[in-house]
A and B are shown apart, each in its own frame.
Chain A
């Protein structure tokens, strides 16, 4: 079983859901983010948050995946002050929705004063509601941005075990782990973090507080990145217990602190869930553990045949 803790499924197709389910992904987390172009008003935010707490959750369930999300104002759009103020106003209304496992993605993009202001405000909200935080570390000036995100979180007295620092690389991981935060790695086909590099990270740092995600969105990205990375780790001789932590147990523990995601959701769903929202994962029906090597995609290839890029 795999848990992909960073997926923007609103921009993925049903083929992706089918392939993920076939590969053993049982659940995914959809962090609130921007849409590739800036929103111009809070109404657009309301509809987006309703979508990821609503239709997308339903849609995933029809393909046998449980869907969770995070809500928050992302750092890019924090720079539109009028929008940011309005979003902060409505966020508390969404923070307690079912399946909201964290406040996020938060953090810095260009490390502006406005980004800083709304990052801090949302850290306070997360603390008040005892929710985990998903921190998006910046693409540019990453190391400094990552260090600053952690310093600010500590300044606001957040428990590091409630904070996931995402999009790490070799340059940031040590300091994230040293400070007691969760270190997540987004596996991208060409940039940032490739599967092989992820294997080396686990070889070097072990599996404590480390996990990987696909961060699949509207750009070049791979919704099978987590199962593929697991396969690559297996081939690289990484122990099964470590693979399970990095691709399933660790994100479950981190986001499970919200009380909104638990193994029973997919292994033993509530009767009312089964009647309405969740069609179940055929791979898992009958309480079996999926065999990733045997999981086939719709075009008949097995996971072992999939090209790992």
Chain B
């Protein structure tokens, strides 16, 4: 028996209700009901404000089938590390959408503008679920400008919104900033699909800046360099391949396998073990990110 496909909002509600006490579940359902029937502004911010108090902040810890249901309801949606209150808050935001995209956008702006850190993380994680994605691009970019790493990561990590909506410049700056603030690249969705020559150049320039300052360069950086590596970038990869620590050399080898140039082949032939491991799938970017 197959159950009908459920919407993200339905999934969120189900996950919340299944994880809190009966009294808290009743409170949650009452809020949802109120928010679905022309709520006042006060109804909305009280529901959002009380969410952590009433429901707690435990991790959702989704089961495999729940994660699969998420991806089925909304392609690439990955709520793996969401918490109960975050799920509830996004359910509230979605519930208050009365099929008026303009009003929804205006209210969401108000909520973002007066949010605390936790709410910001929740609202940014909710980006892929909001109607009329294109009109939330400037807000998403605001998130990637944040000085708070968890806010940046709420947009950048495990979130399909940037890969689907960001133009090349926005995308490139998000990737560069991730490295700049010491965040990981691996959880960014669409990293390989959206790599491009301009990003390759920005990243190589950044690597040179770091080298000049005698600071380490994240081995993840080379992931977005390999596919578009020009002559100078191939020289950089060759340098890492011959002088880096093992993790960096593994990363350089994996990056070089993504280049189709003869020069890349030449570099790889100098390291037959790494070449073989990279081509056989024994080196992955996930492992590189893990360090």
Contacts and interface: CB of A to CB of B under 8 A. Distances in A.
Interface of A: 46, 49-50, 53-55, 57-58, 90, 92-99, 259, 270-273, 275-277
A50 B42 contact: no
Interface stretch (B26-34, B50-58, B228-236): B50-58
Contact of A96 (B45, B59, B83, B121): B45
B113 A271 contact: no
A50 B113 contact: yes
B120 interface: yes
Given A54-B148, A90-B114, A275-B81, A98 B59 contact: no
Contact of A55 (B46, B81, B148): B148
List the 4 closest pairs (A to B, CB-CB), nearest first: A96-B49, A276-B150, A53-B116, A97-B116
A206 B150 CA distance: 44
A96 B50 contact: yes
A131 to B, nearest CB: 12
A96 B117 contact: no
B58 A277 contact: no
Nearest to B121: A276
Interface string B125-169: 000000000000000000000011110010000000000000000
B115 interface: yes
A272 B114 contact: no
Contacts, number: 62
Contacts of B119: 97-98
Contacts of A46: 113-114
A57 B120 CA distance: 13
Contacts of B116: 50, 53-54, 57, 97-99
A93 to B, nearest CB: 5
Contact of B83 (A53, A93, A94, A272): A272
A92 B148 contact: no
Interface residues of B, number: 26
B50 to A, nearest CB: 6
Give the secondary structure class of A's interface.
helix
Nearest to B150: A276
B88 to A, nearest CB: 14
Contacts of A54: 115-117, 120, 148
A255 to B, nearest CB: 15
Nearest to A275: B81
A218 B116 CA distance: 24
Given A96-B49, A98-B52, A276-B150, A271 B59 contact: yes
Contacts of B83: 272
A242 B30 CA distance: 46
Contacts of B58: 270, 272
Contacts of B42: 92
A90 B45 CA distance: 11
Contacts of A95: 49
A270 B57 contact: yes
Contact of B114 (A94, A99, A277): A94
9 contacts: A54-B115, A54-B116, A54-B148, A55-B147, A93-B45, A96-B53, A270-B58, A276-B150, A277-B117
Nearest to B46: A96
B58 to A, nearest CB: 7
Contacts of B59: 271-272
Given A54-B117, A55-B148, A98-B116, 19 more contacts: A46-B114, A53-B117, A54-B115, A54-B116, A54-B148, A57-B117, A58-B117, A58-B150, A92-B45, A93-B114, A96-B50, A97-B116, A97-B119, A98-B52, A98-B117, A270-B58, A271-B59, A272-B83, A275-B81
B31 to A, nearest CB: 13
